Amino acid sequence: MPASKNMNLPKCWSQRLWWLFLVLGLFCAYFVLRGFVLGYWTFIGLLGLFLAAFASAGHYLGTYIDRHKRTEGGLRRQERRLEKSLYKWLRRVLRRKGNRLEAAVQRRLEDRISRLGELLADKNSSRADLLAERRHAEMFIEEHLLQFKKSPTREYIESIGVAVIIALMLRAFVIEAFQIPSGSMIPTLRVGDHIFVNKMSYGIRIPLLPLKIFGKRIPAVSFDWSMPKRGDVIVFITPENEEEDYIKRVVAVAGDTIEVKNGMVAINGSMLPVERGRPFVYDDLDEDGAFRGRVATKRFEETMNDGGQRKHDILRRSCTSYRDCLGVALPECDLKTGDCVPIESGCEQETGLCNQANFGPLKVPDNHVFCMGDNRDNSRDSRVWGPVPMEFIKGRAIFIWWSYREDQVRWERMFTAIR
């Protein structure tokens, strides 16, 4: 039966429902706001209102339950949990600080621990007995053990410190967030996509390496238990500039021979199957999200066979005249097909854009992978700086968790798996 609402009852549901409703508010905000075109600050303001409203609702509902709907059995279980926590703390003080206590205080502490232990061992002990004994123990602490009790400020700082350490460890070894700064992986990834990367997909890397100290280079070190597969989208340190992270798709793995013929990729002598393209236009943005122009391409579906048929989309530059091909170092246009026709392999030094004329054949060395961008005519990749060593790979991209560019939240891209 419900406990009396006049009793001074400990908090329980007000704390639990606060967190539960906060998470519920996040989900509701996502499903409601995704139906609107919102700017960044409008989105932040509305999200804050949702979270505040749901968190307040959870707090008030939990407070009502605590005051009017708590049962005697539930209160007794909570009291036992509080008693058990206090019992453990007193035992820890006796074990670690007992030699610093006066003999009389130490005996009283042992007696208090013994009484708490007996009540906890008795499954039939009433809540009133448990509450009375806990209050006696708290009075004893205030009188004799206050110097061993952490202040609220210290507990708060320690909690934050532990959370920060856990977050840093997770970021260093388990999962890390990255932002897409360029269009080299369109249509799979767009400028402004924020992704999570599983850093344990292939092994463990020692963080912060490679680096230079006093002019001496310390190489990257990793402990790998598996190799990337063809078609995986990975984040890695580029061999060309070891201070930058790139994201590309694995096209060939160790032992494969890769070759590009007339813009088509061949692995071990077999051309990758590609379905005929359809028109695709995208907005070209710089790293700050500023609009640079619209780019006309064709979207193809490429298939890789690596223990199964893995399909993903790629882009090739399309054209109606030779002028459309000038921006990607492809100076000719096939008017019959509408494709930019590569004349020779190479890259523009100013833009870093590379054509995909003829490359290779190249055999990928052991413990290396060959990577290319899905936006094949707008990607600086392994065709320029060679295969990527395994110790440079940070992890496999798994899904997009946030996407914002051109003053809009792109809801359709959020929480989508990376194909």
Q: Are residues 245 and 101 in the same domain?
A: no
Q: Which domain-ending residue is among 97, 132, 148? A: 148
The tokens for 408 are 């809009």
Query: What are the C-alpha distances in Å from 236 to residues 4, 101, 262, 368, 394?
Result: 62, 57, 28, 12, 5
Q: What is the pLDDT of residue 340?
A: 65
Output phi, psi for 286, to 5 deg.
-85, -175
Q: What is the pLDDT of residue 355?
A: 53
CA distance 252 to 39: 41
Q: Are residues 143 and 234 in the same domain?
A: no
Element (H, E) at 121: helix 103-121
Q: Are residues 412 and 264 in the same domain?
A: yes
Asked whether residue 162 is assigned to any structural domain, the reply reads no
CA distance 285 to 269: 36
Asked whether residue 7 is assigned to any structural domain, the reply reads no
Q: Are residues 299 and 206 in the same domain?
A: yes
Handedness of CA 198, 202, 208, 212 (dihedral sign): negative
**Model pLDDT for residues 381-391, shown as the tens digit of each residue:** 898 889 999 99
CA distance 413 to 407: 15
Q: Which domain-ending residue is among 130, 148, 166? A: 148
Domain that holds residue 115: 13-148
Q: Are residues 187 and 144 in the same domain?
A: no
Q: What is the pLDDT of residue 228?
A: 93
CB contact at 8 A, 248 and 184 = yes
Query: Mean pLDDT score of the chain, rounded to an integer?
Result: 82
Whether pTM exceeds 0.85: no
Q: For the chain, what is the domain count?
A: 2
Task: Show the low-confidence residues of the chain (pLDDT under 50).
Answer: 1-2, 4-7, 328-330, 347-354
Asked whether residue 24 is assigned to any structural domain, the reply reads yes
Q: Are residues 68 and 127 in the same domain?
A: yes
Asked whether residue 335 is assigned to any structural domain, the reply reads yes
Q: What is the pLDDT of residue 236?
A: 93
Asked whether residue 33 is assigned to any structural domain, the reply reads yes
Q: What is the pLDDT of residue 350?
A: 46
CA distance 254 to 229: 10
Q: Are residues 257 and 202 in the same domain?
A: yes
The tokens for 8 are 């001074």
* Rg from Cα positions in the chain: 31
Q: Are residues 143 and 184 in the same domain?
A: no
Q: Are residues 281 and 134 in the same domain?
A: no
H helices within 252-359, ranges in order? none
Tally of CA atoms within 13 A in the half-sphere of 98 that contains its CB: 13
Q: Are residues 200 and 93 in the same domain?
A: no
**Model pLDDT for residues 257-309, shown as the tens digit of each residue:** 999 876 678 999 888 888 877 888 888 777 666 777 788 788 888 888 766 67
Asked whether residue 173 is assigned to any structural domain, the reply reads no
Q: What is the CATH number of the domain that holds 346?
A: 2.10.109.10
Angle at 236 between CA 231 and CA 242, to 5 degrees: 150
Parallel/antiparallel/unpaired status of strands 245-253 and 257-261:
unpaired
Residue corresponding to tokens 């549901």: 13
Q: Are residues 141 and 187 in the same domain?
A: no
Asked whether residue 167 is assigned to any structural domain, the reply reads no
Q: Are residues 319 and 377 in the same domain?
A: yes
Asked whether residue 161 is assigned to any structural domain, the reply reads no
